[in-house]
A and B are shown apart, each in its own frame.
Chain A
Amino acid sequence: MDFAFAELTIFVLAGFVGFQVITRVPPLLHTPLMSATNMISAISLVGSIVVAGGNHDTLSTVLGTIAVTCATINLVGGYIITDRMLKMFDGGAKGGHR
């Protein structure tokens, strides 16, 4: 059970840090925040790549490849759309428009 405890510590501390940081995100940016965390969750790539490329058996390879596809969709699509939104807010701040 030792290994689980170390990981639980990391989980709790990361959750705590996340809570502290995200509390300070203004409601203005809550939608981009959501799509940003979505993009960050594409880190499941590190798990799915090992499954897809592990050459273990056919089913694992198929499941892994679909998982890599899904995570990449979130990485690419998530980054682009978050940036698109943030660009709009950024433009407003520079006073280029109203």
Chain B
Amino acid sequence: MSDPATAVDPIRTAFISTAYLGAAVSFILGLRGMTRPETARRGMQFALGGMIAALAGTLVNHEVVAYQWVLLGLVLGSVIGWPLGMKVAMTQMPQRIAISHMFGALAASLVGIAEYWKHHLDGVALERPQMAALGFEVLFGALTVSGSFMAFAKLHELLPGRGITFPFQNAVNLTVFAGTIGLLVYLVVDPTATWAFVAMTVLAFISGFSMVLPIGGADMPVVVSLLNSYAGLAASATGFALGNTVLIIAGALDGASGFLLSVLMSKAMNRSFSNVLFGAFGSAPRASAAQLGAGGEMKEISLEDAATALRYAKNVVVVPGYGLAVAQAQKAVGELAELLEGHGNEVRYAIHPVAGRMPGHMNVLLAEANISHEKMVEMEEINDSFESVDVVVVIGANDVVNPAAKRDPGSPIYGMPVLNVDQARRVLVLKRGKGTGFAGIENALFVEERTSLLFGDAKSTLTRLVSELKAM
């Protein structure tokens, strides 16, 4: 058994246990720091301290003898991790998070596989509870590795962002997943069945791919959160398998966080998990939504008129969407806002929970442009006050401002909470082209009387707006 608590030397054991306890406490306190922007950094430093203590504790474990391999892993990991921390742009954060779920889950599954392999080599059968823990670890781990890789590939546009569907997909996916669970049960009954272990690992790996394959870009916030939760559960299962409590605790924290975020994201889209996972958003009927969209023409506006409207608007609200991230227009938004505020106009930002590709995506982008977080307003807080807003600037957002979610029961997004942009006095929409949004749904807001559109790349449009305003 690799339980560090059974180490021979009592002082060493006490040291290791204390280090692990300290680490667990520091993680909880670290997360507590995240409840306020002012204390968050301190919290993470605390958590890092806990991590280093746990690392020190593990390094003196009497089972660790081949330090050269440990060192190799630590050095390699640092060399790869450093640029992944320093160099990645804020706009690439969704895929960055997705790939780190993959690394976390890969570490957990490899430990599980090695643990099973060791018992197989030694000819010692695993106890059933331990087998169950190992099985869960490898199942969740393998599924998260491939699922996160798929999410990464889609977010990084290595694969098309739209869901990829084929006939009987749900039936196939469910069969593969049921097979994976069946093999896990079989393994618990007979832990020596090596073939079942291999088959389960392979099937879980395939499950991850097939689970994320049909999911489109707009649903990514839920998927990324769910994978976060799975990665945590895999880590927790590792703790069960190794009898290591700090792993159980850290995994549970991670799992709870991911689960909570995915619940919040699903709610913000008025959809259930099963609908996100099996609904294949893009394939929903679109007939009635198309009818609504056919009700008018989009009105284009000149840059000059748009600048004038903004210049004399006392109360401006910016609604950022995924298009802002794609165009990397966050700094241009900041410049525009600075100019307007210089004229005494108020500028705020309305943030929909699922705007972008992951929870909090828009906040990070705006913060990068030095916009104070006090000006970023959550949907519930701002939604009743749109009537008093002079101009709303929608930048690359679509579904989160689509009034069809409120009015049209036939729309695929009907019932989803949206920003009440249609109640503002005037709406300026910055849009790349005349096409539909990511989910392929027509938007009646764009053809309304009070709406004017500026077509083109959001960044260049904003930059030109800024120079127009400066010239005024």
Contacts and interface: CB of A to CB of B under 8 A. Distances in A.
Interface residues of A, number: 87
Q: Which of A17, A49, A87: most chain B CB closer than 10 A?
A: A49
A98 B349 CA distance: 13
B393 interface: no
Given A40-B250, A52-B73, A66 B110 contact: yes
B110 A28 contact: no
Contacts of B372: 92-93, 95, 97-98
Contact of A83 (B41, B51, B100, B243): B41
A34 B96 contact: no
Interface of A: 1, 3-4, 7, 10-12, 14-19, 21-57, 59-61, 63-93, 95, 97-98
Contact of A90 (B41, B129, B364): B41
Given A37-B257, A41-B254, A92-B371, A29 B249 contact: no
Interface in B142-166: none
Q: In terms of DSSP, what is the predominant structure of the interface of chain A? A: helix
A18 B85 contact: no
A31 B34 CA distance: 11
Q: In terms of DSSP, what is the predominant structure of the interface of chain B? A: helix
Given A11-B252, A75-B81, A41 B232 contact: yes
B34 A10 contact: no
Contacts, number: 401
A17 B96 CA distance: 27
B251 A59 contact: no
A68 B246 CA distance: 17
B34 A33 contact: yes
B77 A73 contact: yes
Contacts of A68: 69-70, 72-74, 77, 107
B459 interface: no
Interface in B10-61: 20, 23-24, 27-28, 30-32, 34-38, 40-41, 44, 47-48, 51, 54-55, 57-59, 61
